[in-house]
Amino acid sequence: MQRLIPVLNNDHVPLHLISVINTLMTAAKEISHRLHQGSLAGTLGSTLDENIQGETQKKLDVVSNQLIKNMLLETNLVRAVASEEEDDIVEGNPDAKYLVAYDPLDGSSNIDVNGSVGTIFSIMEVPDHCKHGKDMFLQTGDEQVAAGYILYGPSSMLVMTTGKGVRMYTLDHTVGEFLLTVEQVKIPAQTQEFSINMANDRFWSAPMKQYIKDLLQGEEGPRGKRFNMRWNAAMVSDVHRVLCRGGIFTYPADCREADKPCKLRLLYEANPMSFLIEQAGGRASTGYERIMSLQPTEIHQRVAVMMGSADEVGTCLQYHKDIPCQRFDA
């Protein structure tokens, strides 16, 4: 089986970008090891701190964030990093060309119950028009040069793209290498599986309520077929399933908190996942706009997400076209 670096070399990925990706993999191997140690590593549980998102930080959130940040900045190939766990960007080599936005441990509320979690990353280049500060990161998802995630499940898997399709690699712990295990990921256009947190039903907009209501009516309803539901409470894990066998993953806007209608973050969750989904033949939308076309206005901004099997996402978007409503997120 092919190792990661020869595959990237064959794709003519620039050497410095390969080095940045390889550094992320080194950090991921350490995170994978600590996670699989569980409570033996002494890093389960929460800290007494909250991150900028207002979420209690798990010890492994902090450990993973520090690992990735320090290893990336030590390469001297990274101009700056933006992390879910950092209030502001952290500057690196002023002459470097790569920017890395990442969620060090997505799904971290699953850690203490031994659930799947993952690291999500998005890599961009420093734009010609802006060489300093957080505005460097305010680029559309279409500007990403690489994106992916490491899913720490029963096996640790890297799923990534550099714009030439999506490949999956499995970590071989005996040799400490990510080996190519899926050469080309293609999402089926149709599906009978949806992924949403149903507990929020009463807070959704009218189009979303109707879309889900019709799914739940199965064969007798307007969709004319039965659907199944999955919700792992970790975007990495739910999107991985969609990439493996199709489906629609959605975290729509809702009216629970007027000042926070959306949950998922654009720069280091929605954009990298959208890059993967589109490269694998799927679609990724807010319900009204294509996610990778959005112009970010701040590094931790949140966005509504509907992504996966192209035809099913299209059906969901048709409900948003046909049913008028006052958007929570606009």
Contact pattern for ligand AFP over residues 49 through 68, marking x by CB under 6 A: ------x-------------
Residues in the chain: 330
Which is nearest to 243 in space by CA: 272, 280, 268?
A: 280
Helix or strand run (H / E) with residue 62 = helix 59-74
Single residue of 92, 104, 107, 282 touching ligand AFP by CB under 6 A: 107
Task: Say whether residue 250 binds ligand AFP (CB under 6 A).
Answer: no
289 is in an annotated binding site: no
103 is in an annotated binding site: yes
Contacts for 18-21: CB closer than 8 Å, 24+ residues apart: 19/75, 19/77, 20/72, 20/75, 20/77, 20/78, 20/98, 20/100, 20/123, 21/123, 21/146, 21/160
Residue 163 backbone zone (phi > 0: left; psi -120 to 50: alpha; other: beta)? left
84 is in an annotated binding site: yes
Task: Say whether residue 241 binds ligand AFP (CB under 6 A).
Answer: no
Task: Return all residues near 228 (Cβ < 8 A) that are at least 6 apart.
Answer: 192, 193, 194
Contact pattern for ligand AFP over residues 280 through 309, marking x by CB under 6 A: ------------------------------
Which residue number, 162 or 271, has a Cβ lying nearer to ligand AFP?
271
Single residue of 233, 244, 323, 325 touching ligand AFP by CB under 6 A: 233
For ligand AFP, the binding residues in 171-210 under the rule CB under 6 A are: 197
Single residue of 263, 300, 302, 320 touching ligand AFP by CB under 6 A: 263
Single residue of 27, 85, 89, 106 touching ligand AFP by CB under 6 A: 106
Which residue number, 73 or 239, has a Cβ lying nearer to ligand AFP?
239
Helix or strand run (H / E) with residue 268 = none
Q: Nearest distance from residue 234's CB to ligand AFP, in Å?
A: 5
User: Segment contacting ligand AFP (CB under 6 A): 94-102, 140-148, 230-238, 316-324?
Assistant: 230-238
User: Segment contacting ligand AFP (CB under 6 A): 92-100, 106-114, 134-142, 313-321?
Assistant: 106-114
DSSP state of 267: I
Using a 10 angstrom Cβ sphere, with 0-12 exposed, 13-18 middle and 19 or more buried, the burial of residue 64 is buried
Which is nearest to 240 in space by CA: 157, 146, 144?
A: 157
Instruction: Find out whether 34 and 108 touch, Cβ atoms under 8 Å.
Output: no
Q: Nearest distance from residue 94's CB to ligand AFP, in Å?
A: 32
List binding-site positions: 84, 103, 105-109, 197, 263, 269
Give the residues lining the site for ligand AFP (CB under 6 A).
55, 106-109, 197, 233-235, 251, 263-264
